[in-house]
A and B are shown apart, each in its own frame.
Chain A
Amino acid sequence: MFQKYANPTRFLKLANAILPWVAGLTVILIATGLYFAFAASPPDYQQGQTVRIMYVHVPSAWMAMFAYAFIVLASAVGLIWKHPVAHVSALAAAPIGACFTLICLTTGSLWGKPMWGTWWVWDARLTSVLVLFFLYLGFIALANAFDDAARGEKASAILALIGGVNLPIIKFSVDWWNTLHQPASVTKLGMPAVHSSMLIPLLLMAVGFTTLFFTLVIIRSRAELASRRINALRAARIHAEAGGG
């Protein structure tokens, strides 16, 4: 199944067929999700209106992890089956995942100021997400650091796999460090069972963010494939002119 879409033309055909559907779904889901989040859901009895930040914050945190898992998987497929489109989609997903991570950190910080009284705490979760953000930056930097694009995508694919192995270890050690250094400075706000009036917008937004992710991955992969084709055509023309001249 993977092999079939190693051919960029076939992949583009599939991508073009899917794109309007996921894009449309994204618009509908996020629009209804935002309506529920801002208008049709109650403010929290403790957090007041700031609870509405959660409808963006939590889905983007999920997407931050989902996008990294996607990159690891795509990199593995790319390396194992020498699948060019898998590499392209991993590279396309990286800046999107980094953006979700940044959104997660920023909204969390905006929520933390009124709730915890500080923009940033070295809480285990916050720290892990920050490290995840660094891993994204490393991946993007390595992918773009070579003059030969093929080298960049292979090297960054290996890095993504290493990161994928290392991420649970980092998560574990950060949890461990956190319990060692600052016991219970931040109470975990014992999440009570979420009421459906809040769960519905949250789930709508989460699914909407997922389709948004795939929409953007398809658009970016398409752009990347197109730019490679332009480069190849340009190189071929220069070659032909030089040879024929």
Chain B
Amino acid sequence: MTAFFALIGRDIRIALRQLSDTFIVIIFFVIAAALFPFGVGAEPNLLARMAPGILWVTALLSAMLSFDRLFQNDYEDGTLDLLVIAPQPLWMTALAKIAAHWITTGVPLLVAAPLIGVMLNLGPDGYGVLMVAMALGTAIISLTGALGAALTLGSRRSGVLLSLLVLPLVIPVLIFGAGAVEASIAGFPAAQQLLLLGGLLLACLVLCPWGCAIALKIAAE
């Protein structure tokens, strides 16, 4: 367990020292969302109707930008080989890296989301559910994306490839995440979608670190 938290701490420290990486993701999130009013028109009602979808799609796309550095540096400087032969089970190592990724990317996205909601005229009832759904959703995205990052480690054009692999797999997150926010704006309870998101998160929590560990082992061979 000490190693687990030590690894999380190390990754967060590295992220804090390269803060611009995190900022780029957040800036991309804001810019991409800000493009929509130019494309579809700035009519407030239209934007309010599209806001949940725009928020989720742009959050997904910005998260994709953050995965290439998840294992890449460790892979290049040999840290990954040491992590693979370390006595801790590899799935635990993978889970620690994923947790650190969520703290350094998922949480900043979460903080920026209400701001974009305001820009897009999101209904006032949507914010609470948006935060809960985003918290669950970004964790699922971190887990799935880590799997993609581990699989594409050392490949050609891994960044683009990663998006191609991960985006179809996270369609359910988009559906339930945007669905939850839409339901709460329309005045319906969003519990159903949130519970489904929670279920997805639990399933990913079991399967993704394990798959990640296998992929990392293959990469380190």
Chain A interface (Cβ < 8 Å from any Cβ of B): 131, 134-135, 137-138, 141-142, 145-147, 151-152, 154-155, 158-159, 161-163, 165-166, 169-170, 172-174, 176-177, 180
Flag whether B207 is at the interface (Cβ < 8 A): yes
In the bound complex, do residue B211 and residue A158 qualify as a contact, i.e. CB atoms below 8 Å apart? yes
What A residues does B156 contact at CB under 8 A?
145-147
Flag whether B86 is at the interface (Cβ < 8 A): no
What B residues does A177 contact at CB under 8 A?
175, 179
Q: Please report the C-alpha to C-alpha distance between residue A137 and residue B165 in the assembled complex, in whole angstroms.
A: 8
Subset of 26 A-B contacts with CB under 8 Å: A131-B168, A131-B171, A142-B155, A145-B155, A145-B157, A145-B158, A146-B154, A151-B219, A155-B155, A158-B214, A158-B218, A161-B211, A162-B169, A165-B207, A166-B169, A169-B200, A170-B168, A170-B171, A170-B172, A172-B172, A173-B171, A173-B175, A173-B176, A174-B171, A176-B175, A180-B179
What A residues does B55 contact at CB under 8 A?
none
Residue of A nearest to B172 (CB): A173
In the bound complex, do residue A138 and residue B168 qualify as a contact, i.e. CB atoms below 8 Å apart? yes
Interface residues of B, dominant DSSP: helix
What A residues does B157 contact at CB under 8 A?
145
Residue of B nearest to A132 (CB): B168
Q: Quote the shortest CB–CB distance from A175 to chain B (angstroms).
A: 10
In the bound complex, do residue A163 and residue B169 qualify as a contact, i.e. CB atoms below 8 Å apart? yes
What A residues does B172 contact at CB under 8 A?
169-170, 172-173
Q: Which 3 A-B residue pairs are closest in the complex by CB-CB distance?
A: A145-B155, A173-B172, A134-B168
Within 8 A of A (CB), among B51-92: none
Q: Which of A138, A169, A170 has the most CB of B within 10 A?
A: A138
In the bound complex, do residue B165 and residue A142 qualify as a contact, i.e. CB atoms below 8 Å apart? yes
Flag whether B185 is at the interface (Cβ < 8 A): no
Chain B interface (Cβ < 8 Å from any Cβ of A): 147, 151-152, 154-158, 161, 164-165, 167-169, 171-172, 175-176, 179, 196, 200, 203, 207, 211, 214-215, 218-219
Q: Please report the C-alpha to C-alpha distance between residue A204 and residue B158 in the assembled complex, in whole angstroms.
A: 43
Residue of A nearest to B171 (CB): A170
CB contact between B165 and one of A138, A154, A161 (< 8 Å): that residue: A138
Q: Please report the C-alpha to C-alpha distance between residue A170 and residue B154 in the assembled complex, in whole angstroms.
A: 28
In the bound complex, do residue B218 and residue A155 qualify as a contact, i.e. CB atoms below 8 Å apart? yes
Q: Please report the C-alpha to C-alpha distance between residue A130 and residue B167 in the assembled complex, in whole angstroms.
A: 13
Q: Which of B158, B164, B165, B200 has the most CB of A within 10 A?
A: B165
What B residues does A142 contact at CB under 8 A?
151-152, 155, 161, 165
In the bound complex, do residue B171 and residue A145 qualify as a contact, i.e. CB atoms below 8 Å apart? no
Q: Please report the C-alpha to C-alpha distance between residue A131 and residue B176 in the assembled complex, in whole angstroms.
A: 17
Q: Please report the C-alpha to C-alpha distance between residue A55 and residue B82 in the assembled complex, in whole angstroms.
A: 56
Q: Please report the C-alpha to C-alpha distance between residue A173 and residue B165 in the assembled complex, in whole angstroms.
A: 18
Residue of B nearest to A151 (CB): B218
What B residues does A137 contact at CB under 8 A?
164
What A residues does B176 contact at CB under 8 A?
173
Q: Check A145/B179 contact, CB under 8 A, given A155-B218, A169-B200.
A: no
